[in-house]
Amino acid sequence: MLRTVDDVKNQLKSFVDGLTGTPEKMADKKYQMDKKVGTLKYTDLYPHDRNGAVVTETMLKQLTDVLIDFVHETNDRKCKVLDFQHPEEMKKLLDLDIPEEGLPLQTLIDDCALTLKYQVRTGHPHFFNQLSCGLDLVSMAGEWLTATANTNMFTYEIAPVFILMESVVLAKMREIIGWNGGDSILAPGGSISNLYAFLAARHHMFPNYKEKGQAALGAQLVMFTSDQCHYSVKSCAAVCGLGTDNCVEVPSDEQGRMIVSELERLVKERKAKGQIPFFVNCTSGTTVLGAFDPINPIADICQKYNMWLHIDAAWGGGLLLSKKYRHPRFSGVERADSVTWNPHKLMGTLLQCSTIHFKLDGLLLSCNQMSADYLFMQDKLYDIKYDTGDKVIQCGRHNDIFKLWLQFRAKGLNGFEAHMDHLMEMAEYLVERIRTEKDKFHLILEPECVNVSFWYIPKRLRTMPHNQNRIAELAKICPILKARMMEAGTMMVGYQPDDKRPNFFRSIFSSAAVQKDDVDFMLNEMDRLGQDL
Q: How far is the CB of 7 from a second copy (least distance, A)?
A: 11
Q: How far is the CB of 296 from a second copy (least distance, A)?
A: 28
Site for a second copy in 345-384 (CB under 8 A): 350-352, 368, 370-375, 377, 379-383
Max CA distance (Å), the chain:
83
Query: What's the burial of 51, exposed, middle or buried (CB within 10 Å: 0-12/13-18/19+)?
Result: exposed
- Alpha-carbon distance of 448 to 330, in angstroms, equals 11
Among 2, 33, 79, 108, binds a second copy (CB under 8 A): 108
Stretch that binds a second copy, among 116-124, 298-306, 322-330, 432-440 (CB under 8 A): 116-124
Q: How far is the CB of 96 from a second copy (least distance, A)?
A: 5
Collapsed DSSP state (helix, strand, coil) of residue 279: strand
Decide: is 156 part of the binding site for a second copy (CB under 8 A): yes
Binding mask 386-405 for a second copy (x = CB under 8 A): x------xxxxxxx--x--x
Among 2, 151, 428, 531, binds a second copy (CB under 8 A): 151
Task: Using the minimum distance from each CB to a second copy, give the nearer residue, 106 or 301.
Answer: 106
Site for a second copy in 474-513 (CB under 8 A): 479, 482-483, 486-487, 492, 494-498, 503, 506, 511-513
Decide: is 324 part of the binding site for a second copy (CB under 8 A): no
Site for a second copy in 283-322 (CB under 8 A): 287-288
**Helix or strand run (H / E) with residue 63:** helix 53-74
Q: What is the 3-state secondary structure (H, E, C) of 480-526?
A: HHHHHHHHHCCCEEEEECCCCCCCEEEEECCCCCCCHHHHHHHHHHH
Task: Using the minimum distance from each CB to a second copy, give the nearer residue, 115 or 261.
Answer: 115
Distance separating the N- and C-terminal Cα atoms of the chain: 59
CB 202, CB 363: distance < 8 Å: no
Task: Using the minimum distance from each CB to a second copy, give the nearer residue, 42 or 305.
Answer: 42
Decide: is 215 part of the binding site for a second copy (CB under 8 A): yes
Decide: is 227 part of the binding site for a second copy (CB under 8 A): no
Stretch that binds a second copy, among 23-31, 250-258, 303-311, 457-465 (CB under 8 A): 23-31
CA 292 centroid distance within chain: 18
Q: How far is the CB of 23 from a second copy (least distance, A)?
A: 4
List strand residue ranges (DSSP E) for 338-440, in order.
338-341, 354-358
Q: How far is the CB of 220 from a second copy (least distance, A)?
A: 6
Beta bridge partners of 442: 455
Q: How far is the CB of 390 from a second copy (least distance, A)?
A: 9
Q: Give the chain's length.
A: 533
List strand residue ranges (DSSP E) for 150-220, in order.
183-187
Site for a second copy in 422-461 (CB under 8 A): none
- Alpha-carbon distance of 179 to 12, in angstroms, equals 54
AA identity, residue 343? P
Task: Using the minimum distance from each CB to a second copy, give the nearer residue, 114 or 300.
Answer: 114
CB 301, CB 260: distance < 8 Å: yes
Q: How far is the CB of 438 from a second copy (least distance, A)?
A: 25
Q: How far is the CB of 80 from a second copy (least distance, A)?
A: 14
Residue 486, Ramachandran bin (φ over 0: left; ψ between -120 and 50: alpha; else beta): alpha
Beta bridge partners of 250: 226
Decide: is 129 part of the binding site for a second copy (CB under 8 A): yes
Binding mask 28-67 for a second copy (x = CB under 8 A): -------------xxx-xxxx-x-xxx-xx-xxx-xx-xx
Among 179, 408, 455, 456, binds a second copy (CB under 8 A): 408
Beta bridge partners of 279: 223, 308
Task: Using the minimum distance from each CB to a second copy, give the nearer residue, 200 or 298.
Answer: 200
Q: How far is the CB of 468 from a second copy (least distance, A)?
A: 19
Angle in degrees, CA 133, 138, 143, rounded to 5: 85
Among 34, 106, 128, 169, binds a second copy (CB under 8 A): 169
Instruction: Give how many residues touch a second copy by CB under 8 A.
Output: 186
* HSE, side-chain direction, 13 A CA sphere, residue 245: 3
Angle in degrees, CA 108, 112, 116, rounded to 5: 165
**Helix or strand run (H / E) with residue 407:** helix 402-436
Site for a second copy in 75-94 (CB under 8 A): 75, 84-88, 90-91, 94
What is the b/e burial string over 242-266, where b = at least 16 CB atoms within 10 angstroms of the residue's CB? Answer: beeebbbbbebeeebbbbbebbbeb
Q: How far is the CB of 341 from a second copy (least distance, A)?
A: 14
